[in-house]
Amino acid sequence: MTITRRLLCCAALATLTAISSPLSGAFAQDSFPSRPMKLVVPYAAGGGTDAIARLVAQGVSEKLGQSLVVENNGSAGGNIATQQAANAAPDGYTVLMANQGPMVVNPHLFKNVKIDPLTAFDPLTLITAAPLVVVVPKNSPYKTVKELIDYAQKNPGKLLYGSAGNGSASHLATVLLAQEANFQAVHVPYKGAGPALNDFLGGRMDFMVTTVPSVLGLIESEDARVLAVTSKIRAKRFPNVPSVAESGWPTYEATAWYGFAVPKGTPKEIADKIRKATIETISSGVVRQRLENEGAEPIGNSPEEFAAMMKSESARWADIIGKASIAMN
């Protein structure tokens, strides 16, 4: 049998292709990111989640050499944005700001959640966690959280409270408070803490339980008064403000937490690169100090630890939501 020149060329080309393919994949991962990335935030701009997202995104952008552009969408309690992020290509160019509402609350709260957030994403790391604060407008008659709750107990349904959206940390922290303290209040959901606080300033609600970053400016300007923090003990940021627990409801505790996750199947090398840049960012002086100044505590745990925490939180909030008998379409 005669081996022709064409056959030899084809064989050589096939061999080169087989050898170069894995190398090409490795090179693509080594060169990541080669274009801007997107950070999906399932809340409107101006709230606590958005503030932390933008702070960390800036640091990650600097460390990776490409922009991590924040994209806000607070529709449907963050479900739409979370679903879009889950359906994005698992190539590292889409990152989700994963927090309490969309990840561990909404599947138990909304009837039409189309994905399981705990299986649709690969967790990267828990970035930070922080207590929330119970706040009232500056002209409110309530000087303590006990005064507020005493009125709510004696006047069911008379008080209005806003939140960053159905299933958000601010919503569920208030639901839990109402359960623990046995009172009823009317919930007004918004598409983020920012829009809610605009109405709060306008006097169209009586109180809010919200994240520290979202309301810190109003506290500092004395347009909002802090009545209590939602952690078991007092927060370093507000040493003179009592916790709800020490004010008469010792079992009460609620925190807001924030992390990064990527669509399921993102190559480990790429996921590790984003995680490394994230942990370096929150561990550095400026970002760490900013987080601590806003009442947050930098964490930076492993993907496995973050996944286990979310599984535990999902079970906890499923029980709380079930007891409250609340559901959204």
Per-residue pLDDT tens digits for 218-262? 999 999 999 999 999 999 889 999 999 999 999 999 988 999 999
CA distance 182 to 162: 19
Residue 20 belongs to some domain of the structure: no
Residue 19 belongs to some domain of the structure: no
Is residue 196 over pLDDT 80? yes
Other C-beta atoms closer than 10 Å to the C-beta of 321 total 20
Q: What is the mean pLDDT of residues 84-95?
A: 98
Residue 159 belongs to some domain of the structure: yes
**In terms of domains, do 109 and 135 share one?**
no
**In terms of domains, do 143 and 220 share one?**
yes
- Domain end point (choices 247, 268, 299): 247
Residue 192 belongs to some domain of the structure: yes
Residue 268 belongs to some domain of the structure: yes
The residue range of the domain holding 242 is 131-247
**In terms of domains, do 136 and 243 share one?**
yes
- Domain end point (choices 230, 247, 264): 247
**In terms of domains, do 119 and 137 share one?**
no
CATH number reported for the structural domain that contains residue 215 in this entry:
3.40.190.10
The predicted pLDDT at position 219 comes to 96
Residue the block writes with tokens 């925490």: 309
Total residue count of the chain as it appears in this document: 329
* 44/182: higher pLDDT: 182
- Domain end point (choices 204, 223, 247): 247
**In terms of domains, do 215 and 295 share one?**
no
Query: Looking at 67-76, 145-154, 292-301, which range is the least confident one?
Result: 292-301
Is residue 158 over pLDDT 90? yes
Number of domains in the chain: 2
Integer CA distances (angstroms), 14 to 7, 17, 20, 26, 27, in order = 11, 5, 10, 19, 20
